[in-house]
């Protein structure tokens, strides 16, 4: 598997896992339109995924270093994706701006935990 195909697979898995989480939670609990939920999830991943992928490259040799970098990276990704969710709801659905911002952080953590677990499971199965 080439580096490019590895990245493409990782991004695909991330989107396949995270987009349904964002779609379900944002539409059901926050009343957002499906289009807004999917766009927010796509933008969040387009912003964070390549940055985390590149940032993790130097840490692929040591297990301890990788684990630390992975946790720190995922925390930062959750924060950025939370911000993207807030901005998306405020931008595309101004009537929902300010509704449950703290809960949007929980949604970001839930989506990222699910995709991180899927990615780790796939890595272990290889």
pLDDT tens readout for residues 94-123: 888 877 889 999 999 999 999 999 988 988
Q: Where along the chain do its domains lie?
A: 3-125
pLDDT at 12 exceeding the cut of 90: yes
Global pTM value: 0.86
With residue 30 as reference, give the H or E element that holds it: none
d(CA 79, CA 47): 12
Biggest CA–CA distance in the chain, Å, is 48
With residue 50 as reference, give the H or E element that holds it: helix 34-56
Could you report the per-residue pLDDT of 16-40, keeping only the tens digit for each? Answer: 999 999 999 999 999 999 999 999 9
User: What integer is the mean pLDDT of 30-55?
Assistant: 94
User: What integer is the mean pLDDT of 86-100?
Assistant: 86
């Amino acid at each position: 598997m080439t580096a490019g195909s590895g990245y493409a697979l990782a991004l695909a898995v991330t989107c396949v896992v995270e987009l349904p989480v964002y779609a379900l939670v944002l539409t059901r609990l926050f009343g957002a339109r499906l289009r807004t939920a999917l766009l927010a999830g796509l933008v969040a991943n387009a912003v964070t995924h390549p940055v985390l992928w590149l940032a993790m490259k130097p840490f692929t040799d040591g297990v301890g270093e990788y684990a630390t970098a992975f946790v720190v990276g995922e925390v930062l990704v959750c924060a950025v994706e939370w911000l993207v969710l807030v901005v998306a709801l405020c931008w595309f659905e101004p009537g929902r701006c300010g509704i449950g911002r703290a809960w949007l952080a929980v949604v970001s953590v839930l989506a990222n935990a699910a995709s991180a677990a899927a990615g780790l499971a796939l890595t272990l199965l290889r």
